[in-house]
Amino acid sequence: MNYDDYIDKIPNFPKEGILFYDIAPLLYNQLAFKSIIEEIAKNIEACKPDLIVAIESRGFLVASALSIVMDKGFLMVRKKGKTPGKTISYEYQLEYGTDLLEIRENINIKDKKIVIVDDLLATGGTVQAAINLIHKTGASVCCLAFLIELAELGGRKKIEDKVKDFNIFSVLKY
């Protein structure tokens, strides 16, 4: 199946000069969505994850479907202030300032093998922060999976330069 047929490219969104890759048509087509989830599952099953973790918010859509197909639990990595109760957090640098990722403190993932899932790999900053957050809990990341990778932005290289002990899988590369 050519998944590229189900990705709309929207110029100048959300601002001038940005080309937005919209996964809505892929999600709308149940056959394409099911097929891409099965392809991701096939490509990450060798790392034998205990848990599927996703980054807010479109990553949740992919990871929740993936967790059902793989019969694994699903944990949300949320942006600052979106997680109720006590949290474990990780602050990271942005181009202009900092941001914070959080998970719930009362969900014990220590010693678990984690796959981190998101819809898009761009510069790699947010996923690197998610990796650091997972490591902070005592869990380990066994692989990363993305629907789309924007290769020219160098996110894969940035991640591989810091961590070399897991695989990175992307279905589509632009």
**Residue-range domains of the chain with CATH:** 36-173 (3.40.50.2020)
Give φ, ψ of 16 to 5 degrees.
Answer: -50, 135
Kindly compute the dihedral angle of the four CA atoms of residues 168, 155, 111, 50, in this order, to the nearest 10 degrees: -40
Q: Decide if pLDDT at 56 tops 90.
A: yes
- pTM reported for the whole predicted model: 0.94
Helices 58-70 and 30-44: crossing angle, nearest 10°? 70
Q: Could you report the per-residue pLDDT of 94-137, keeping only the tens digit for each? A: 877 899 999 999 999 999 999 999 999 999 999 999 999 999 99
The two three-digit tokens of residue 135, written as one number: 């490591």
User: How high is the pLDDT of residue 163?
Assistant: 77
